[in-house]
Amino acid sequence: TPAPLSRALRAAPQSPALGNARGDPGRSRARDPATAGNDAGAPRAPATGGEGEPHSRHQDARLGSTDKELKSGATAADSVRTASGTPRQPGPRAEVMDAAGGSRNPLPRPCHVLVLLNPRGGKGKALQLFWSHVQPLLAQADVSFTLMLTERRNHARELVRAEDLRRWDALVVMSGDGLIHEVVNGLMERPDWETAIQKPLCSLPAGSGNAVAASLNHYAGYEQVTNEDLLTNCTQLLCRRLLAPMNLLSLQTACGQRLFSVLSLAWGFIADVDLESEKFRRLGEMRFALGTCLRLAALRTYRGSLAYLPAETLASRGAPSPARAPQGPADTHVVPLEQPVPPHWTVVPEQDFVLVLALLHSHLASELFTAPMGRCSAGAMHLFYVRAGVSRATLLRLFLAMEKGRHMEYHCPHLVYVPVVAFRLEPKDGKGVFAVDGELLISGAVQGQVLPNYFWMVSGCRESPPSLKPQPSPRRKSQQRPPPAERR
């Protein structure tokens, strides 16, 4: 995931280092309308709108709270654990999302959560930030917790795969987007995955990209903030206890691997920046700015073929394709990778790309407002791709404008955007790598589809995105079509 380029490339001061001082809550802002532009004939994105409500602490969060003493320093073989007594059994609540993907009851008061924290995430100050910024707010809101520190890659995945989830009202993930990826995939690997994935999740940003947290902050109506301010906002969301359903991206690879994404799949430029900047992790978000500059200086193209099922097509047809899933939920809109895509899909001819990005949320990093066209419908995702031929200067302008979500206003002829339900991407010549939620995926053909409203996250409101339901599709005078070479 590239990063806040404007500060790095305009030689502005870097964001303050994460520290002990409590950040001020984010203030509300009026969101600027973003007029979408893209390749000839590709759908235009609707403008955003609406004002966020002021960010403020709820007085009821302070009532009846008890600042509990927490045991510390107990290091176990499986984790570093800090507990506030024996976890209580959560109160009775509906554990299954309703068929329409509607809202569910909020977290109870009081509630007990499991906090999975990566002490090496971002600049390595997550634990310090937890005690200085998160714990005091949780104490005021009567949220008790057990803290587990992850010790290695996929540790959180192993923990949630074996954990008795009945002990917790929610799982709180404090790190970057990679740790949420681990937790969700660990839940989906359990024998009881159908109920395990219903356990509410919360994202507290303490990593490098923090895109999921930034998106939830945006959906709550808060202004775009970073670092301690973003952490404070997301902690306040946990204290408010409201839940909202989120889409999940189901992925299948040519080698038979099945995995799930909570944020994005990237190929090409963005994936290279994400993975190649790992060696600069101690810089925090600035690692992406440095990685972007280095990759722009040696801009690559990647040959491949792309096909997708547009959201509009699904709404008008409503006929799913044959499905095959190695395990877990069925993928109803894709066929096996060795077969051609269904005839009602849109096929982009094999060509050279700079990047391809499938994105579930509004942000790709805390200061990359990548999808200003609004939250996708339940069952849909944002698909962006940039064709070869774009200049370095134009690509730089797009990423700089992305900080405020104004990159679509350039109407760049090489940038294409379309909301889709499913996609298939086949790299040629073995070039390019995939990054799924910032994690490396072995290169090769991959396809994915959205599982609508599939899991719950702590959010600023209880509203779910509109469902993508089959319906008559009358001809619209202003309807745009893909370029002739990409029509179904």
Q: What is the rounded CA–CA span in Å between residue 126 and residue 475?
A: 53
- Single-letter residue type at 24: D
Whole-angstrom Cα distance, residue 306 to residue 9?
A: 32
Rounded CA-CA distance 459/467 in Å is 18
Sequence letter at residue 416: V
The terminus-to-terminus CA distance of the chain in angstroms comes to: 31
Contacts of residue 483, Cβ cutoff 8 Å, sequence gap at least 6: 39, 40, 41, 42
C-alpha span between 261 and 361 (Å, rounded): 11
Burial of 22 by CB count in 10 Å (0-12 exposed, 13-18 middle, 19+ buried)? middle
- In the residue annotation, 60 being an active-site residue is answered as no
What is the distance between the alpha carbons of residues 358 and 251, in angstroms, rounded to a whole number? 11
Sorted by sequence, the CB contacts under 8 Å of residue 342 that are 6+ apart come out as 309, 321, 335
Could you tell me if 334 and 424 are in contact, meaning their C-beta atoms sit under 8 angstroms apart? yes
| Active-site hit among 39, 177, 272, 274 | 177
Q: Are strands 415-427 and 434-436 parallel, antiparallel or unpaired?
A: unpaired
Do the Cβ atoms of 31 and 49 come closer than 8 Å? yes
Burial of 217 (0-12, 13-18, 19+ CB in 10 A): buried
Q: Which helix (H) or strand (E) holds 234?
A: helix 227-240
CA–CA separation, 451 vs 285, rounded Å? 30
Torsion region of 99: left, alpha or beta (phi above 0 gives left; psi -120 to 50 gives alpha) = alpha
Distances from the Cα of 234 to the Cα of 219, 231, 375, angstroms: 11, 5, 18
CB 375 within 8 A of CB 339: no
Q: 405 with 32: CB under 8 angstroms? A: yes
Angle, CA 123 vertex, CA 121 and CA 128 arms, to 5° = 80
Nearest CA-CA partner of 262 in 203, 332, 191, 337: 203
List C-alpha distances in Å: 66 to 70, 141, 157, 244.
12, 9, 32, 27
* Phi/psi of residue 448, nearest 5 degrees: -155, 160
Active site residues: 177
